[in-house]
Amino acid sequence: MVGIRARGDLIATRLHEAIRRNENVDVPLGSLDITLYRDDLTRIGHAPVVRESVIPFSIDDRIVVLIDDVLFTGRTIRAAMDALVDYGRPRAIRLAVLVDRGHRELPIKADFVGKNVPTNLADDVRVQLIETGGADTVELVQAAAA
Amino acid sequence: MTWQRRHVLATDDWSRAEIEQVLDQTGAMVEVLGRPIRRTPALRGRTVILFFAEASTRTRVSFELAAKALSADVTNITASGSSVEKGETLRDTVRTLTALGGDVIVMRHAASGAPYFVAERTDAAVINAGDGWHAHPTQGLLDAYTLRGALGDLDGRRIVIVGDITHSRVARSDIDALVPLGATVTLSGPPTLVPSAWRCGMTPRGTTYEPDLDRALDGADGVIALRLQKERQHAGLLPSIREYAKTWGLSEERVKRMRPEAPVLHPGPMNEGVEIAASVAHGARSLIETQVTNGVAVRMALLYLLAGTPEQVA
Amino acid sequence: MSGLADLERDAAQHGWLVSPGFIDLHAHLREPGFEESETIATGARAALAGGFTTICAMPNTEPAIDSPGLVAEVIARGAAARAARVLPIAAITRGRLGKELADLVELAAAGAVAFSDDGAPVSDGQLFRNALEYARASGRPIFEHSQDLALTADGVMHEGVVSARLGLPGMAAAAEETAIARDLSLARLAGGRLHLSHVSTAGGVELVRRAKSDGLAITAEVTPHHLALTDEWVAGSRAFAWEDGGDRATPYETSTKVNPPLRTASDVRACWAGLMDGTIDAIATDHAPHASTRKDVEFQEAAFGISGFETAVPLLLAGVAAGWGTWDRVVEALTTGPARVLGITLPENDRVVIDPNAAWTCDAAALVSLGKNTPLLGRALIGRVVACAVDGELRFDLTRIAAS
Q: Where are the domains of chain B?
A: 16-136+293-307, 137-287
**What whole-number percentage of chain C has pLDDT above 70?**
99
Determine, for residues C167 and B135 on separate chains, whether the beta-carbon distance falls below 8 Å: yes
The nearest CA of chain C is from the CA of B95 a distance in Å of 13
Asked if residue C390 is part of any domain, the answer here is: no
Q: Higher confidence at residue B22 or residue B229? A: B22
Model pLDDT, residue B100: 87
Residue A17 sits in a domain whose CATH number is 3.40.50.2020
- Band of pLDDT at residue C81, cut at 50, 70 and 90: very high
Q: Report whether pLDDT(B45) > 50.
A: yes
Q: Find, among C374, C92, C153, the residue nearest to C253 by Cα.
A: C374
Give the angle C371-C373-C374 at the CA atoms, nearest 5°.
Answer: 125
* H or E segment and range at residue B75: strand B73-78
What CA–CA distances, in Å, run from C193 to A141, C119, C134?
91, 19, 11
Q: Report whether pLDDT(B82) > 70.
A: no
The DSSP result for B164-203, as a single string, is: --TT-HHHHHHHHHHGGGT-EEEEES-GGGS-HHHHTT-P
Q: Give the domain range for residue A15.
A: 2-118
The nearest CA of chain C is from the CA of B284 a distance in Å of 34
Alpha carbons A25 and A6: distance in angstroms, whole number: 25
Model pLDDT, residue B232: 83
* H or E segment and range at residue B253: helix B252-255
Mean pLDDT value of segment C262-271: 98
| A-B Cβ pairs (cutoff 8 Å, strict) | 63
Q: What is the pLDDT of residues C45-75, one digit of tens each?
A: 999 999 999 999 999 999 999 999 999 999 9
Asked if residue A139 is part of any domain, the answer here is: no
Average predicted confidence (pLDDT) for chain A: 92
Q: Which amino acid is at B307?
A: A
Facing C299 at nearest CB: one of B112, B166, B195: B112
Q: Report whether pLDDT(C404) > 70.
A: no
Alpha carbons C107 and C389: distance in angstroms, whole number: 29
Alpha carbons B129 and C177: distance in angstroms, whole number: 38
Q: Report whether pLDDT(C400) > 90.
A: no
**Chain C positions in Cβ-Cβ contact with residue B113 (cut-off 8 Å):** 166, 168, 251-252, 298-300
**CATH H-level superfamily of B137-287:** Aspartate/ornithine carbamoyltransferase (3.40.50.1370)
Mean pLDDT value of segment C35-41: 98
Q: What is the pLDDT of residues C337-366, one digit of tens each?
A: 999 999 999 999 999 999 999 999 999 999
Model pLDDT, residue C300: 95
Alpha carbons B100 and B87: distance in angstroms, whole number: 20
Q: Report whether pLDDT(B309) > 80.
A: no
Q: Report whether pLDDT(B101) > 80.
A: yes
Question: Can you name the residues that pair with A125 across neighbouring β-strands?
Answer: A140
Q: Which amino acid is at A135?
A: A
Determine, for residues C165 and B172 on separate chains, whether the beta-carbon distance falls below 8 Å: yes
Asked if residue C355 is part of any domain, the answer here is: no
Model pLDDT, residue B311: 46
**What whole-number percentage of chain A has pLDDT above 70?**
96
Q: Higher confidence at residue B87 or residue B60? A: B60
Model pLDDT, residue C344: 96
| SS3 at position C144 | strand
Q: Report whether pLDDT(B79) > 90.
A: no
Under a CB-based contact definition with an 8 Å cutoff, are residues B227 and B211 in contact? no
The nearest CA of chain A is from the CA of B46 a distance in Å of 9
**Chain B positions in Cβ-Cβ contact with residue A86 (cut-off 8 Å):** 35-37, 39-40
**Chain A positions in Cβ-Cβ contact with residue B25 (cut-off 8 Å):** 49-50
Q: Report whether pLDDT(A135) > 70.
A: yes
Mean pLDDT value of segment C24-41: 97
The one-character DSSP state at B226 is P
ipTM of the complex: 0.94
Asked if residue A133 is part of any domain, the answer here is: no
Q: What is the pLDDT of residues C119-133, one digit of tens each?
A: 899 999 999 999 999
Q: Report whether pLDDT(C326) > 80.
A: yes
Mean pLDDT value of segment B153-177: 97
Mean pLDDT value of segment B79-89: 63
Mean pLDDT value of segment C261-266: 98
In CATH terms, B16-136+293-307 corresponds, of 1.10.1040.10, 3.40.50.300, 3.40.50.1370, 3.40.30.10, to 3.40.50.1370
Mean pLDDT value of segment B184-202: 95
Q: Which amino acid is at B138?
A: T
Model pLDDT, residue A145: 55
Q: Give the domain range for residue C137.
A: 21-349
Average predicted confidence (pLDDT) for chain B: 93
Least confident range from A70-79, A134-143, C76-85, C197-206: namely A134-143
Neighbours of chain B (3+ CB pairs under 8 A): A, C
Q: Report whether pLDDT(C197) > 80.
A: yes
The one-character DSSP state at A42 is T
Domains of chain A: total? 1
Q: Find, among B210, B189, B191, B198, the residue nearest to B275 by Cα.
A: B189
Alpha carbons C259 and C158: distance in angstroms, whole number: 9
Determine, for residues A35 and B36 on separate chains, whether the beta-carbon distance falls below 8 Å: no
Q: Which amino acid is at C289?
A: P
Q: Find, among C325, C350, C328, the residue nearest to C339 by Cα.
A: C350
Least confident range from B109-118, C8-17, C288-297, C376-385: namely C8-17
Least confident range from A18-22, A34-38, B243-247: namely A34-38
| Burial bucket for residue C254 (CB in 10 Å: 0-12, 13-18, 19+) | buried
Q: Is the omega angle on the peptide bond into residue B211 within 30 degrees of 0, that is, cis?
A: no
Pick among B25, B44, B70, B103 to test the A interface (most A CBs inside 10 A): B25
- Band of pLDDT at residue C5, cut at 50, 70 and 90: confident
Q: Report whether pLDDT(B312) > 50.
A: no
Name the residues of C annotated as catalytic: 286
Asked if residue C143 is part of any domain, the answer here is: yes
Length in residues, chain A: 146
The DSSP result for B41-52, as a single string, is: -TTTT-EEEEEE
Q: What is the pLDDT of residues B259-305, one digit of tens each?
A: 999 999 999 999 999 999 999 999 999 999 999 999 999 999 999 99
Determine, for residues C252 and B116 on separate chains, whether the beta-carbon distance falls below 8 Å: yes
The DSSP result for C192-258, as a single string, is: S-EEE----SHHHHHHHHHHHHTT--EEEEE-TGGGT--GGGTTTB---TT--S--B--TT-GGG--
Under a CB-based contact definition with an 8 Å cutoff, are residues B124 and B104 in contact? yes
- Band of pLDDT at residue B84, cut at 50, 70 and 90: low
Antiparallel, parallel or unpaired: β B222-225 and B264-265: parallel
CA B304 to centroid of chain Cα atoms? 18
Backbone angles phi, psi at A97, to 5 degrees: -135, 155
Q: How many helices (H) and strands (E) does chain C have?
A: 13, 14
Model pLDDT, residue C1: 45
Residue C326 sits in a domain whose CATH number is 3.20.20.140
Exposure b/e, A63-79, CB count within 10 A at least 16 = b: ebbbbbbbbbebbbbbb
Alpha carbons C232 and C240: distance in angstroms, whole number: 10
State the virtual CA torsion across C161, C164, C168, C172 in degrees, nearest 10.
60
Alpha carbons C180 and C174: distance in angstroms, whole number: 9
Determine, for residues B197 and C164 on separate chains, whether the beta-carbon distance falls below 8 Å: yes
Antiparallel, parallel or unpaired: β B47-52 and C194-196: unpaired
- Band of pLDDT at residue A127, cut at 50, 70 and 90: very high
Asked if residue C382 is part of any domain, the answer here is: no
Determine, for residues B172 and C299 on separate chains, whether the beta-carbon distance falls below 8 Å: no
**Chain B positions in Cβ-Cβ contact with residue A52 (cut-off 8 Å):** 27-28, 31
Alpha carbons A49 and A36: distance in angstroms, whole number: 10
Model pLDDT, residue A43: 66
* H or E segment and range at residue B129: strand B125-131
Residues of chain B that touch chain C, judged by Cβ-Cβ distance less than 8 Å:
12, 89-91, 109, 111-114, 116-117, 120, 131-135, 166, 169, 172, 195-198, 202, 204
Return the sign of the alpha-carbon dihedral for residues B5, B11, B15, B20.
positive
The secondary structure of C324-365, three-state, reads: CCCHHHHHHHHCHHHHHHHCCCCCCCCEEEEEEEEEEEECHH
Alpha carbons A126 and A140: distance in angstroms, whole number: 6
Antiparallel, parallel or unpaired: β C218-222 and C194-196: parallel
Exposure b/e, C152-161, CB count within 10 A at least 16 = b: beebbbbbbb
Exposure b/e, B196-228, CB count within 10 A at least 16 = b: bbbbeeebbeebebbeebeebbbebbbbbbbbb
**What whole-number percentage of chain C has pLDDT above 90?**
94
Average predicted confidence (pLDDT) for chain C: 96
Q: What is the pLDDT of residues A85-101, one digit of tens each?
A: 999 999 999 999 999 99
Model pLDDT, residue C2: 58
Under a CB-based contact definition with an 8 Å cutoff, are residues B287 and B168 in contact? no
- Band of pLDDT at residue B201, cut at 50, 70 and 90: confident
Alpha carbons A81 and A32: distance in angstroms, whole number: 10
Q: Find, among C309, C324, C323, the residue nearest to C268 by Cα.
A: C324
The nearest CA of chain B is from the CA of C167 a distance in Å of 4
What CA–CA distances, in Å, run from C331 to A116, C18, C155, C219?
88, 10, 33, 17
Q: Report whether pLDDT(C403) > 80.
A: no
Antiparallel, parallel or unpaired: β C351-362 and C379-390: antiparallel
Neighbouring CB atoms inside 10 A of C340's CB total 16
Domains of chain C: total? 1
Model pLDDT, residue B308: 65
Length in residues, chain B: 314
Q: What is the pLDDT of residues C139-152, one digit of tens each?
A: 999 999 999 999 99
Determine, for residues B3 and A46 on separate chains, whether the beta-carbon distance falls below 8 Å: yes
What CA–CA distances, in Å, run from C106 to A75, C64, C74, C190, C258?
89, 16, 15, 21, 33
Q: Higher confidence at residue C311 or residue C2? A: C311
